[in-house]
Structure 1
């Protein structure tokens, strides 16, 4: 996939903790209220994502973090695509799509049986992106987020 030459996608490092938190805080509070499940993960992604076998990727524009996505490992070995965010100043550069592709490539590489996600129907651009990446809607089970009203997944 071709990204603008000044954009790169890299694996999360501890120095990205503040950017990971701020990028997600920006979009969540724009549309919803921050929930307890968000706060825990955003304040300590190492503990809640990485130490449990997950992955985080960061998108950098001119070296500055402008986007992120996480793969959170589920107990059954599948993963949840979560905490995807691109700052408003970097919209239109196809960074969200690139982050999604990198996450799905990682999931395929490690032989995850599926990747799922929770979202909200009012986030039409995000839902269109997920469909473009190959996700399909599935029944929504009870979950930890009040804002989640749709579940999607992709199987490998």
Structure 2
């Protein structure tokens, strides 16, 4: 059976309805996971009618309610120009909450709310949309990744316990130029762009083929990530982040198409890769390269990478330079 859904902007008169909806959806999402007393405190402090009346009266806080007939089944809360450490962009938009009743999952309510968030961000000129999501909820993390959000930090979630859970900070770039996490539609571009530059300067080696022909096995399933730089919907660059040991990651397979080089896209990809390393709590990021790649080496040095002795058994004949960047940033608080 198909259902028809509508959205409308919530007003102060909706405070009681929103309070009931917010409490129900929060409990459905977290009560089986978190301590009941912590959940009770969050509900009482965040979803009481008085607090929601104040937020609904604030012109800089936007709520939308999703309905099917007369039943409210989900809601969206957006707040402009709020940021925490790790959020980039000059005009960020916080996707503070997006919840729907458990009974209505899989009925396109989430899509309706997310598309509304995107339209609002674009209409209001925001360059980044960001949110936080529990890092132990892989289904939710994958859901946001499919919408183009990428991990940038980890955040302590204030539930009130002595050992609060941690969230991923995730953000989606708005506009024509975006960095997105791995998507199957762009899998072949990862191989194509890397084969192009490797064959231009060097000879393709066995480790190259392993990563490029089966990135799922050798990168993604190991807890790594492949990032793509899009101009509109065309891939113009890519980079991989590969776990390589306790608390460290390798930055690898950085490639930008020739006609877009020299425009800062390599730097943007490196920064996005380092964001991912922060989100995974890496303490250092290393890379291996060749001294003939002057432009790339200058980029790494400017970002703070320092040369070290080349470890044994690197696996690449072409490697004659090894560099590492130590990461010292701790978790943010939401």
Alignment TM-score, normalising by the size of structure 1: 0.94
* Segment of structure 1 superposing worse, 112-121 or 88-97: 88-97
Q: How many equivalent pairs are there?
A: 155
Q: RMSD of aligned C-alpha atoms?
A: 1.4
Rg larger in structure: 2
Contact 2:180 2:229 in 1 (8 A): yes
CA distance in 2, matches of 1:65, 1:124: 24
Match status 1:41 vs 2:211: yes
What residue in structure 2 maps to residue 77 of structure 1?
Answer: 247
Match status 1:58 vs 2:224: no
Match status 1:149 vs 2:320: yes
Task: For residues 82-138 of structure 1, give each alpha carbon's deviation from its aligned partner in whole angstroms, at most 9, with x where no partner exists.
Answer: 000001011122110000001111112221010000000010001001112211111
Contact 2:291 2:320 in 1 (8 A): yes
Q: Secondary structure at the match of 2:245?
A: coil
Match of 1:96 among 242, 245, 266: 266
What residue in structure 1 maps to residue 310 of structure 2?
Answer: 140
Q: Which runs of 5+ in 1 are unaligned?
A: none
CA distance in 1, matches of 2:250, 2:201: 21
Q: Secondary structure at the match of 2:246?
A: coil
What residue in structure 2 maps to residue 8 of structure 1?
Answer: 178
Higher relative contact order structure (alpha carbons within 8 Å, sequence separation ≥ 6): 1
Q: Which runs of 5+ in 2 are unaligned?
A: 1-87, 90-172, 328-334
Deviation at 1:62, TM superposition (A): 2.2
CA distance in 2, matches of 1:57, 1:124: 23
Match of 1:119 among 289, 293, 296: 289
